[in-house]
Amino acid sequence: MMRVVMRPLLTTSPLVGGMQIFFLNQPDIDYDLVGVADVLDMPGLNDVLKKVIAQQVAATMVLPNKLPIVLSNEIAAHVVKLPEPEGVLRVHIFQAKNLVAKDMSLIRKGKSDPYVIVTLGAQQYKTHTINNELNPKWDYWCEFASFSPRGQVLKLKLFDEDEMVGKKHSNLGRASIQIGNVAKTGYFDKWINLEDTKHGMIHVRMLWLDLTLEQSALKRALTETQELRITNLSSAVVMVYVDSAINLPNARAQSKPDPLVRVTVGQTTQTTVGKLRTERPVYEQGFTFLVNNPETDTIEFKVIDQKTNTQLGLYVYELSSLLVTQNMRVETQPYDLIIDSKNQQHDSKLLFCMQLKFLKKLPVLVDVNDDTISVTKPLSRQTSVQSTKSVNSVITSADVSEIQSSAVGNNTPTDGMSRTSSIKRDSTVSRNSHTGGGDQEPLIEQAETTELLSEPEEPAPGTGPLGSIQITLTFSVARQRLNVTIHKVVNLPIKEPSDIPDPYVKLYVLPKKENSNTKRKTETYKDNCNPVYEETFEYIMGVAELNSKQLEVTVLTKKTWHSPVLGQIVLNISDYVNINTPSFTGWFDLETEIKEGTVG
């Protein structure tokens, strides 16, 4: 999605002083090579060309990068070109479970070497790799400056690392999260089902931080850093606008320099576009940096000749100086550059301006329109915290100032169920999504409220001879997603005392021919007639598809090589969830398997 922002507004023509053009997320790029360029349209070369084009587009027009255009001479360039994010998104890639095994072995059970690539716009981070593990725990933190959270998507891609040189890393699944709702509620803490894979889930936590000029916010952020003993936890954001340089020295005899500016805060460096053969380059570029501690950190400007890599000038600015300026801002003005190792100052100058703002946690609110929100206890510090050179942050317990709760309404599904002889249903419709199991350490502290939701009575399981299964169906109209949670199976029959089943549950959306990629399955529990799964699976499904789709749920055992069926149900999805009934939880009696082609 491309977005155009026009500001500031003027009272005279052209009515706006400038505009910013950018993509919220990395766009899909397609093109057709004709004429002489058709020689590049071959495997290998075409892939390289497409990658180069995508990188150039991302570096120019994918957030946090923007294409700024000044439309009026009355407006200073830095008003349009100085970037200012709406906030900062802290992301915690905690762990994953039940990943697909990609490394098969004749000696031992197959495993994978998983890692995650985390992407927001043009910003990207990569976790470390955990070898030989299908339930990895990365405990990895990263931060993103977000300029337009509404519409931006955080993308997670899991891969199995392969040590063989030149071999492509295998896909383990992907997930996408809209961050607009995180910016509204202030937090996110959920298990997410992986797409584009047979099975697997990932546990993600996020915290949204607003920008503020309040001095007290810095003290709170620094106190949290000391308490958590986490290095490189950002407490502020600095926006820098590099305007130009004047009177730069020559890097080579009888030749003007080709200068660029490298701006460094902490361990993060960003670079301006290089200019050719000029001692008075004009850059007019803006940058955003996350700052660990503005009381001690510095921002370093190095002017470099890009052909010889010779340093043409240096200036170091103490960020603590911004703390005492009005609104923690300095306007564009010239600063004397240090030219040589003797720290001698010449007539060379660099013109820039900057703005500092602190990070502030939002009061945590529950979005009553989000069927998957749950409020949980504080996050405790992990025994091992992975960090990167440039980013290492942590989500701390947030003070819950307001909890919006609504009573749970009574609903029952419509008639016309498919092939279920005896069904026990909950008397209430659950508004909370049942996320996957695992040792989840929730993020947010449970608030004390004057009105508490009464817990519904646990419905009794069925009495079918093949056992019963408890399932929750949840449909989100906004996200066009159907979530299916397999809670538990009870009373599986035992034919012989020595033949206790090893049950697992397999799901399909029918008809299978039209939905060949809908197979999902739970973990297997050995020697158990009453397994508890608490696993959630997600399907992309529109409102119009609900009436034509069925859900096949099959309980099998892995006792033998061909996994015999212990019981099965087939549900008309629209009988249980629709626009008016977004969620349903109930018990279903298992029946004998229906062969494919016999279901209406």
Average pLDDT of the residues in 381-399: 40
- The C-alpha atoms of residue 382 and residue 385 are separated, in whole angstroms, by 6
Does the pLDDT at position 25 exceed 60? Answer: yes
- Higher pLDDT residue, 130 or 198? 130
Are 106 and 75 within one domain? no
Furthest-apart CA pair in the chain: how many Å?
95
* Burial of residue 396, with CB atoms counted within 10 A of its CB: 0-12 exposed, 13-18 middle, 19 or more buried: buried
Are 344 and 247 within one domain? yes
Are 125 and 61 within one domain? no
Query: Is 171 contained in some domain?
Result: yes
Under a CB-based contact definition with an 8 Å cutoff, are residues 418 and 379 in contact?
no
Task: Classify the phi-psi angles of 416: left when phi > 0, otherwise alpha if psi is within -120 to 50, otherwise beta.
Answer: left
Output the pLDDT for position 513. 58
Output the pLDDT for position 424. 40
Average pLDDT of the residues in 294-316: 94
Are 191 and 95 within one domain? yes
- DSSP-assigned beta bridge partners for residue 203: 95, 191
Does the pLDDT at position 79 exceed 70? Answer: yes
pLDDT tens for 11-22 read 888 888 888 888
Output the pLDDT for position 97. 92
Query: Is 419 contained in some domain?
Result: no
Are 92 and 207 within one domain? yes
Output the pLDDT for position 404. 37
Q: Locate 389 and state its tokens.
A: 């050179």
Structural domain including 265 reads 236-361
Query: Is 396 contained in some domain?
Result: no
Average pLDDT of the residues in 545-554: 91
Are 204 and 247 within one domain? no
Average pLDDT of the residues in 509-534: 82
Output the pLDDT for position 340. 66
Are 72 and 91 within one domain? no
Average pLDDT of the residues in 24-45: 73
Does the pLDDT at position 95 exceed 80? Answer: yes
Query: Is 375 contained in some domain?
Result: no
Average pLDDT of the residues in 455-459: 51
Of the listed ranges 280-289, 434-443, 501-510, the one predicted with least confidence: 434-443
Question: pTM for this one?
Answer: 0.63
Closest to 337 measured CA to CA, from 235, 459, 422, 248:
248
Are 122 and 19 within one domain? no
Alpha-carbon radius of gyration of the chain: 29
Query: Is 384 contained in some domain?
Result: no
Are 98 and 66 within one domain? no
* Burial of residue 583, with CB atoms counted within 10 A of its CB: 0-12 exposed, 13-18 middle, 19 or more buried: buried
How many domains would you assign to the chain?
4
H and E: helices and strands count for the chain: 4, 28
Q: Which of 70-74, 168-172, 322-326, 455-459 has the highest mean pLDDT?
A: 322-326
- Higher pLDDT residue, 542 or 330? 330
Are 37 and 104 within one domain? no
Domain closes at, from 81, 111, 131? 81
Domain closes at, from 197, 212, 227? 212
The secondary structure of 169-205 as a DSSP string is PEEEEEEEEESHHHHHHSEEEEEEEPBSSSS-EEEEE
Please count the residues of the chain: 600
Residue 331: give its domain's CATH number: 2.60.40.150
Are 92 and 73 within one domain? no
Under a CB-based contact definition with an 8 Å cutoff, are residues 82 and 355 in contact?
yes
- Across 140-174, b (16+ Cβ under 10 Å) vs e yields bbbbbbbbbbeebbbbbbbbbbeeeeeeebbebbb
Q: Which of 1-10, 269-278, 403-412 has the highest mean pLDDT?
A: 269-278
- Higher pLDDT residue, 381 or 210? 210
Are 94 and 202 within one domain? yes
Give percent of the chain with pLDDT exceeding 70: 76
